[in-house]
Chains A and B, each alone.
Chain A
């Protein structure tokens, strides 16, 4: 049973009224169903079994009141303590959740190991996401696309190299980096269904050039608490098609 209520509700947009403050004992996450950054917060809430209310935001027609939750109008934003506390930023919210709901703790308690996990996330995430969004933006401009696909392959080469064991946590179980980088890699999986000559393969994604990552992805993809935060491939691919052409359908599949 998922702790995330409202995950598949329709997006709230400009003109829609502001929601009442979250109830005591519940956290609220402002989300968009296909956003990899917001999914980080959802994954952490799911793993830590925190009762969570999800409200989806229309990212092109944001409600004015949403800017009181996040000054840039981005997702995710975490709201709790009956609306008195708001935390933003996709890598900050999980750390905060580990602080205020310490069991089960996901980030190492050793200070050096903890900081290395944060730096590793920054490194992998920075490379994968900039390469990925480079591909997406070039998808409509075919002369740039080939070059961007080469950069994407290089970013995944680095991700493969940095995976020295089963998981980026350096232990026998997934950890902070694994859970937070998974959504970005899932988005590349979805896109591998759409773009021709994509260097990452749909079958046993990301394919034989990335043996460790392929095993890693399969494992992460089968964790129930991660699945509970994810959208199915079929609907996600259709959303991504709409997003790539510049007309995102945020409620696709609902």
Chain B
């Protein structure tokens, strides 16, 4: 049973009324169903079994009140303590959740191991996120696409070499880096269904060129708490197609 309530509720937009403050002991996450950054917070809440209320935001027609939750108007935002506490930033919220719910701590306690996990996440994200963004933005212009693929492949080569064992946690079970970098890989996986010329295969993604990553992706995808925080491939791919047509996609599949 998923702890994430409202993950597939319709996105709130300009003109919609602000929700009432979260009730005591309720954690609220402002999200967008297909946003990889927001999914990090959802995965962490899910894995840590924190009962959470999800409110989706239309990122093209943001409600004015949403800027009182996040001054940048971005997702994710965590709201709790009856609305008195707000935390933003997709790599900061998980660390905060580990601090206030230490029994289900995911980050290592050792200061050096902890800091290395945070630096590793930053290193992987710094390559994957812009590489994906470049491809995604070029998706309507096929002639530009092929040159953008190179940065994706380079990012995957680096990701493969940095994966020394089964997981980026350096242990036998997934950790902070694995959970938080997974959404970025999933988005590239969706691209493999969208673009026939995409250089990575859908089957056993990301394919024989990345043997460790292929096993890793399969293992993380199979985790129920991660699946509960994710959108299906069908809806993910469908939302990308709507985006390619310039159509609103936030409520795709609802």
Contact residues of A with B, CB < 8 Å?
71, 85, 87-89, 92, 95-96, 99-100, 111-112, 114-116, 118-119, 122-123
Contacts and interface: CB of A to CB of B under 8 A. Distances in A.
Contacts of A112: 85, 87, 96, 100
B99 interface: yes
B112 A85 contact: yes
Majority DSSP secondary structure for residues of B touching A: helix
A122 B72 CA distance: 12
- The residue in B95, B112, B118 that gathers the most chain A C-beta atoms within 10 A of its C-beta is B112
Contact of B111 (A99, A111, A119): A99
Given A119-B88, A119-B89, A92 B100 contact: no
Contacts of B88: 119
A22 to B, nearest CB: 15
Contact of B99 (A92, A99, A111): A111
Contacts of B118: 92
Contacts of B122: 89
10 contacts: A85-B112, A87-B116, A92-B115, A95-B115, A96-B111, A96-B115, A99-B114, A111-B100, A115-B87, A115-B96
Given A111-B100, A119-B87, A71 B112 contact: no
A112 to B, nearest CB: 6
A245 B249 CA distance: 48
Q: Main SS of chain A's interface residues?
A: helix
Interface in B79-104: 85, 87-89, 92, 95-96, 99-100
B112 A87 contact: yes
Interface of B: 71, 85, 87-89, 92, 95-96, 99-100, 111-112, 114-116, 118-119, 122-123
A100 B114 CA distance: 12
Contact of B92 (A71, A85, A96, A118): A118
A99 B114 CA distance: 10
Contacts of A89: 119, 122
- Closest 9 interchain pairs by CB? A99-B111, A111-B99, A115-B96, A96-B115, A100-B111, A111-B100, A85-B112, A87-B115, A112-B85
A195 to B, nearest CB: 29
Nearest to B122: A89
A92 B92 contact: no
A85 to B, nearest CB: 5
Nearest to B126: A72
Contacts of B95: 115
Given A87-B112, A119-B88, A111 B96 contact: yes
Nearest to B112: A85
A96 B116 CA distance: 10
A122 B74 CA distance: 15
A88 B119 contact: yes
Contacts of A116: 87
Contacts of A114: 99
A247 to B, nearest CB: 29
A159 B123 CA distance: 29
Contacts of B92: 115, 118-119
Contacts of A100: 111-112
Contacts of B115: 87, 92, 95-96, 99
Nearest to A118: B92
B245 to A, nearest CB: 34
Contacts of A95: 115
A87 B119 contact: yes
Nearest to B115: A96
Contacts of A99: 111, 114-115
A122 B88 CA distance: 11
The interface centre, meaning the residue of A85, A96, A122 with most chain B CB atoms within 10 A of its CB, is A96
Given A112-B87, A112-B100, 4 more contacts: A71-B123, A87-B119, A114-B99, A118-B92
B128 to A, nearest CB: 16
Contacts of A87: 112, 115-116, 119
A163 to B, nearest CB: 16
